[in-house]
Each structure stands twice: as structure tokens, then as C-alpha cells.
Amino acid sequence: APATGAELKAFLKYAENYNDGPIAVRFPKAACDPESLEKDVDISSRAPVVSGHGKDVAIVAVGAMWDAALDAERILRNDHGVLATVLGLRWIRPLDQRALIARLEEADHFVFVEDAYVHCSASTSILETLPSHIKAKHMRTFAFPTETIEHGTREEIMDEYELSGPRIAESVKSMLYPEGKIISRAAGSSET
């Protein structure tokens, strides 16, 4: 699930040279900077790409949701004092699940963000395979509901379905601070 034009280019080159059976590459639906196509990207690691080291929440971004997740992380940190880690999933299958679990163990909570329908999504598939102590930290999967999506610009649609950085940040903040209370599963309590 490439997040950028450069990653898509690298995955297509990988697919061209892959001879061990069928392969699928998810095309990012977001626009890319043409200059980014000049970059060489190493996609050999199946581990999540990591940005930040916050312990409050991990934002697991599938493919093209990387930029929205980074935007949400910045808003949470700067506007609400919430420290987040963004984990970008380039690979869905095979995925370095041990690396993902290790990162999720470091966070109090986590959410998935994916520009796909929530049912039968990569996020849902990955969530089903996580150990129960990690699943207990899952707060929400941000994805499209199983309904017809009205036409509009990508920005309008993403904002409408809480898939833009600001909308993700607002929802995460509301889940962490319902009625002004900080929820901490690590501490097992609520405090004001």
C-alpha cells in the first residue's frame, strides 16, 4: 500500500521483477508531487515506517493515509498536548507483524486510518490477527462506511468521512478526553 508516488514507482518495479506468484499493488488515490517520483525509495522492509515517539496514541496509516496521519499527529501535539506515533504500513501481506505489535505495545491506544471501506479492509484484517492485549488498545478504525460515497473532491470526501488530518485529530482528542477527562488504559483509571 504505497503512500507516495515514489513508493508506487518502487512497488511497480518490485512487481515487475517478482516471479513467485500473483502480486497486488494498491494504487494510492491521492495526488503526488511529480518531483517525488525522482526519489529512490527502499521498500524492502515489511516493518511499519515510523514517525514520532508519542505514547498516548499510535496512528496506523495504511498507504496514502500517511500524510493525513502526520497532519493529525501534528495537530494533536501542538493543539492538544497529545503525543502520538505514526506507523505507516507499506506492506499488508506480508507484514512484519512482530514489528507492528512491538510499536503498538509502546502506545496506550491506537487507531487505524485507511481510505477504503471499513468492512474487508486491510485494517480489519490486521486487527483480527493481533493478540487480545493489543486489540484492547484499539479505539477506532477511520475508514469509509459501507454505503455509497457521494461525488466530490478528494478533500471534501475525506473531510466528510473524518479521514482528513484535522477530523482524525478532533476525533482522537474526543476519544482521549471525553468530557475533559483523560483516559489512560495503561494506568487503568480516569483523571481530570
Residue ranges of the chain whose pLDDT lies below 50: 185-192
Sign of CA dihedral 102, 107, 108, 111: negative
If one counts every other C-beta atom within 10 angstroms of the C-beta of residue 97, the result is: 14
pLDDT score recorded for residue 69: 98
pLDDT score recorded for residue 4: 84
pTM over 0.85: yes
Are 36 and 97 in contact by the 8 Å Cβ rule? The answer is no
Please report, for the chain, the start and end positions of each structural domain, with discontinuous segments joined by +.
5-38, 49-191
Please name the fold of domain 49-191: Rossmann fold (3.40.50)
pLDDT score recorded for residue 38: 76
pLDDT score recorded for residue 192: 42
